[in-house]
Amino acid sequence: MSAPRLWHLAGRFGRSLWPFPPRRRDVVWVGSVLTSAEMRLWCTQQRADRRESIAVARRAQRRLAGTEYAGEPVWLAAALLHDVGKRDAHLGTLLRTVATVVGASGAVAPAGAHLSGLRRRVGAYLLHPEVGADLIRASGGRSEVAVWAGAHHRRSDWESLDGMPAAVAVVLAMADGERTAKPG
Tens-level pLDDT at each residue, the chain (184 residues): 566 555 555 665 666 565 678 999 999 999 999 999 999 999 999 999 999 999 999 999 999 999 999 999 999 999 999 999 999 888 887 787 777 777 777 666 565 556 667 777 887 888 889 999 999 999 999 999 999 999 887 777 666 778 889 899 999 999 998 544 454 4
For residue 76, being part of any structural domain is answered with yes
For residue 141, being part of any structural domain is answered with yes
Give the type of residue at 164.
M
For residue 180, being part of any structural domain is answered with no
For residue 64, being part of any structural domain is answered with yes
Q: Residue 145's closest CA among 183, 178, 180, 172?
A: 172
pTM here is: 0.81
For residue 164, being part of any structural domain is answered with yes
Whole-number pLDDT of residue 178: 59
Whole-number pLDDT of residue 184: 42
Whole-number pLDDT of residue 153: 78
For residue 30, being part of any structural domain is answered with yes
Whole-number pLDDT of residue 58: 97
Structural domain that includes position 88: 3-175
Number of structural domains (the chain) is: 1
For residue 182, being part of any structural domain is answered with no
For residue 62, being part of any structural domain is answered with yes
Whole-number pLDDT of residue 183: 47
